[in-house]
Amino acid sequence: MNNKTFARRLRQAGFTLVEILVALIIGMLVVLAAMASMLGTRSTAMTGDDVNALHQSSALAFRLLGQQIRQAGYFPIDATGPLYYFDVNANPKLANEPAFFAIKGQEAAAGSVNDTLKVGFAPNPDYFHDCLGQVAKDSAGAAYSPGNPADPANVRLITSEFYVVNGALRCKGSGHTTPQPIIDGVERFDVMYGIGDAGTERVVRYVTATNVASFDQVRTVRVCLQLAGISRSNPGGSYVDCDGSSQTSSDGRLRRVYTAVFALRNL
C-alpha cells in the first residue's frame, strides 16, 4: 500500500471536529426552533381554550340572569280568578310569606367590586322554579302545587338572589337548598339599574343600587361581568373594564368583560 492510498483512506474515515461541531449547532438550532414553535402553538391553544370558556360562561350566566330578571314582578292580574295568589284584602302578604317585590339590589361593600341582585315573582302553573331549577317552597318546606294555584297554603313568592363568593357567581333560590355556583372566574359582578321617566317606560339614566330612590322605578337592569381565564399565557393582555377604563393584565391571565341589558317586562 503506497502513501497516497493510505492518505485517501484516512480522509474517508470520518468527520472532522469542526464538521461535528457545525452539525451539533445546526441540530440544536432546529430543536430550539421546534420547541419555540411548540410553545407558541401551546400558548395559542390555551388562550383559545380560555376565550371559548369565558364566552360559554358569560352566555350561561346571562341566560339564567335574563330568565329570572324578565320574570321579576310577575303576578296574576285577575284578583278574582283561580290564578290570584295574593290576599284579596289588598295585602300581598299572607301568613309566613315575605312581602311581594320585583327586584332589589345592594351595592358592593367596601373593599369589594361585586354587587348583589335579588328578584322576586309570583309562581304560576307554567313557571314555578327559582334560579336553580328548584320547585318553590313555603316557610314550612311545602312545595308549590301548580294544580291548585289558589290554595292559601301555596307559595306566594319565588326569589332568586345572585352574588359572588370566592370568584364564583352563585345563586340562592327559594327552593330551600344550599346556594350553588353558576360560573367560576368572576372578578366583577356589576349591576346598574335603568330608571324610567315618570309616566313612561323610557329609561332616562342608569344608577347604582345606592342611588335608586325606589326600585319600583326600575325598568331595565344592566349587568356587567368581568371574567378571568385559568391559564397564565397571555402576558400584557389589555381589556376594558366595567367602568369603561382600559386595563392591562399583569398576571398573564386572559380577561374579558361582558355586558347585557334586561328589561323588566312585568312592571
Residue 82 pLDDT class (50, 70, 90 cuts): very low
Predicted pLDDT of residue 238: 85
DSSP symbols for the chain = --HHHHHHHHHTS---HHHHHHHHHHHHHHHHHHHHHHHHHHHHHHHHHHHHHHHHHHHHHHHHHHHHHHHTT---S-SSSTT--SBTTTB---TT-PPP-SEEEEPPPTT----EEEEEE--BTTB-B-TTSPBPB-TTSPBP-TT-TT-TTS---EEEEEEEETTEEEEEETTSS--EEEES-EEEEEEEEEEEPTTS--EEEEE-GGG-S-GGGEEEEEEEEEEE-S----TT-EEE-TTS-EEE-SSS--EEEEEEEEE-TT-
Q: What is the pLDDT of residues 197-220, one digit of tens each?
A: 776 778 989 999 999 998 988 999
Predicted pLDDT of residue 71: 92
Predicted pLDDT of residue 101: 87
Residue 83 pLDDT class (50, 70, 90 cuts): very low
| SS3 sequence of 5-53 | HHHHHHHCCCCCHHHHHHHHHHHHHHHHHHHHHHHHHHHHHHHHHHHHH
Residue 78 pLDDT class (50, 70, 90 cuts): low
Q: How far is the C-alpha of 225 from the C-alpha of 206, rounded, in Å?
A: 17
- Say whether pLDDT at 114 is over 50: yes
Contacts of residue 148, Cβ cutoff 8 Å, sequence gap at least 6: 154
Q: How far is the C-alpha of 11 from the C-alpha of 13, rounded, in Å?
A: 6
- Averaged confidence pLDDT in the chain: 82
Please count the other Cβ atoms lying within 10 Å of the Cβ belonging to residue 38.
Answer: 10
- Say whether pLDDT at 125 is over 90: no
Q: Find the mean pLDDT for residues 129-150.
A: 81
Among 16-20, 62-66, 91-95, 176-180, which stretch is predicted with the lowest mean pLDDT?
Answer: 91-95
Instruction: Please report, for residues 86, 110, 115, 172, 267, the alpha-carbon distance to residue 162 in angstroms, rounded to integers and kept in the order given.
Output: 25, 18, 9, 7, 20
- Say whether pLDDT at 247 is over 50: yes
Most confident of 58-67, 74-83, 97-106, 232-241: 58-67
Q: What is the pLDDT of residues 15-36, one digit of tens each?
A: 677 777 777 888 787 777 767 6
Q: Is 160 exposed, middle or buried (0-12, 13-18, 19+ CB in 10 A)?
A: buried
Among 17-21, 76-80, 106-110, 189-193, which stretch is predicted with the lowest mean pLDDT?
Answer: 76-80
Q: Find the mean pLDDT for residues 216-225.
A: 94
